[in-house]
Chain A
Amino acid sequence: MKALVWHGTTDIRCDSVPDPQIEHPRDAIIKVTSCAICGSDLHLYDHFMPGMKSGDIMGHESMGEVVEVGPEAKGKLKVGDRVVIPFTIICGECDQCKRGNFSVCERTNRNGHIAAKAFGHTTAGLFGYTHLTGGYPGGQAEYLRVPFADATHIKVPSTLSDEQLLFLSDIFPTGWQAAVQCDIEPTDTVAIWGAGPVGQMAIRSAILLGAKQVIAIDRVPERLDMARAGGAITINFDEESVIERLNELTNGKGPEKCIDSVGMEAHAAGTVDAMYDRVKQATMMETDRPHVLREMAYVCRPAGTLSVPGVYGGLLDKIPFGAIMNKGLTIRTGQTHVNRWTDDLLRRIEEGQIDPSFVITHTVGLDEGPDMYKIFRDKQDGCIKVVLKP
């Protein structure tokens, strides 16, 4: 089959690879009908996340049709079922899964011992996302093996299109969880850094959950345009002072709730801390560039909440913990517990509260995938979200 394969920094190719096979009785194989490129994939493309090996298949946002089911998954799935596959692989039975903390499932990361070394304890297995999280082949491919398939799937109706459903795999629940982590009150201002796909979903989620005011921060004109369409006030951080504007928009008090949907590759136009991060990152003394986290901790209203869906990989420097501690901020973060939210979100799509397909700007075949990685990363051609059709 054809698949997008990681070969090294900024080197992703559309290769021919062996078809996946059932390896375990709980597995299923799906024929992928649509898959997407995620901002998280860019951290691998740019090789900021450690733990990739040449030959790894990319992708963790996929959906399709079940074509083969292992004997132990048969009760829950059958050939022909239409499913969206969450990016977190879940067993459905461990202590964490039972609590709905699916992204920290205790059983599905087959390299759990490596994750435990890095993070103290294991986290869930993820599709196409480094050997730290299991080294499972990803879904930017014609076929995908789904481990623990009896639990790791979202059944979807045939009445909706792939485009409306695909993002249940990741970015829609991720934006949603980011907003839910804010426990939004009708009086809240929610400030959202990053108007990429995750930020766009967080904006819509905060509006649906009834925030008084939603503010989006980015510098890419098209993304700010789309953020305004979703009901956000926008700040271009290349042209305005983020801190000043946020204080202005909140009577000097700062936003109650702040969401970081940027993550470890934050840019900052010529600020001192940004240059410091670049030097430290280049000399391997720091793994991430936490400019956004610093800004949020500083501007957030006392007793407010920092919600961090943006991905970080390792050690962060110069985090103003004094501000966090003295203002009594709450920090909530994590990979998304996708299946915890998807039944509810699917209902909201069906009811017409939201149609997540608004975010798609490019749809291409798998063979154009490698080019689209570059276009998406470089934010060229108005690119916000890429869907691939294998």
Chain B
Amino acid sequence: MRYETERTRRRGHADTATDTLARGLGIFSIALGIAEVVAPRALARALGMKGQEGLIAGYGVREIATGIGILASKDPTPWIWGRVAGDGLDLATLATALEGRNPKKGNVGIAMAAVAGVTALDVYCAQTLSRESPHPLPPMQDYSDRTGYPRGIEQSHGAAKDFEVPRDFRTPEAMRPYTQPQAPQRPTPSM
């Protein structure tokens, strides 16, 4: 999306591809978080991390909170850095599952590769956002004098009342009583 609002102005930059990426990461965070909260057992089984269901659900809560932070805040930058930290935690936790005789090591490897990929995106996004922050937008243009009415608005309100709406552009006669509180005032138009 591309516009300047409070949200993007605050960070001093019009909405950019990085903002879109940030929003994408926010949605991803929430989706992953929900999976972790809803199905910690299935995840633990797949990763050979039985007994750690509580930890997984806890991480899920963290993901959801971060995701909401990214989507709802005026400036997502600190929240994306928060994701980077969370990624580190995830990787460290997964690494513990690589030790010993975990029969699901293959799955853990895949999960770590996936997290590493997302981490790269997070770092890129966080760095770009931080870099964009210091350049403030030029001050907002002031268009409050751009009325468009050379004779002023008072003079212009209703100035074109002489205009006769062509027959084929008129509100259907049957509708008029409903849109005009004081019942139809105009004579029935010749059809």
Contact = CB atoms under 8 A, between A and B. Distances in A.
Interface size class of A (residues with CB under 8 A): 35 or more
B171 interface: yes
Nearest to B23: A270
A204 B160 CA distance: 10
A332 B171 CA distance: 10
Contacts of B14: 378-380
B191 interface: no
A358 B175 contact: no
Interface in A208-242: 208-210, 219-222, 225-226, 228-231, 238-239
B138 A303 contact: no
Contacts, number: 141
A328 B170 CA distance: 15
B151 A352 contact: yes
Contacts of A188: 179
B159 A358 contact: no
B144 A225 contact: yes
A330 interface: yes
A229 B165 contact: no
Interface string A350-390: 00111110110100000000000000011111101000000
B180 A187 contact: yes
A180 B3 contact: no
Given A180-B165, A303-B175, A379-B3, A359 B146 contact: yes
A209 B148 contact: no
Interface string B154-175: 0011111101011011111001
B3 A231 contact: no
A215 to B, nearest CB: 15
B150 A220 contact: no
A76 B172 CA distance: 38
B159 A330 contact: no
B96 interface: no
Nearest to B139: A382
Interface size class of B (residues with CB under 8 A): 35 or more
A188 B144 CA distance: 25
B167 to A, nearest CB: 11
A301 B168 CA distance: 22
Nearest to A207: B157
B41 to A, nearest CB: 30
Contacts of A273: none
Given A328-B175, A332-B169, A354 B148 contact: yes
Main secondary structure of the interface of B (DSSP, over half): loop
Nearest to B145: A229
Interface in A181-225: 181, 183, 185-188, 200, 204-205, 207-210, 219-222, 225
B150 A355 contact: yes
Contacts of A380: 4, 14
Contact of A225 (B143, B149, B166, B172): B143
A253 to B, nearest CB: 10
Nearest to A355: B150
A330 B148 contact: no
A256 interface: yes
Interface in A107-164: none
A222 B171 CA distance: 34
Interface in B1-18: 1-7, 14-15
A220 B4 contact: yes
Contact of A209 (B6, B149, B161): B161
Nearest to B141: A382
Nearest to B155: A353
A353 to B, nearest CB: 5
A301 to B, nearest CB: 7
Contacts of B175: 303, 328, 330
Contacts of B159: 208, 348, 353
A310 interface: no
- 4 tightest Cβ-Cβ pairs between the two chains A and B: A382-B141, A303-B178, A210-B158, A358-B148
Given A225-B141, A225-B144, A305-B179, 16 more contacts: A180-B166, A183-B165, A183-B169, A186-B158, A187-B181, A188-B179, A204-B156, A208-B156, A225-B142, A226-B143, A230-B149, A330-B171, A354-B156, A378-B3, A378-B14, A382-B140
28 contacts: A180-B169, A183-B165, A183-B171, A187-B182, A207-B156, A209-B160, A209-B161, A209-B163, A210-B158, A219-B3, A220-B3, A221-B140, A222-B140, A228-B144, A230-B148, A330-B172, A332-B169, A340-B166, A353-B156, A354-B148, A354-B156, A358-B146, A361-B141, A378-B2, A378-B3, A380-B4, A380-B14, A384-B143
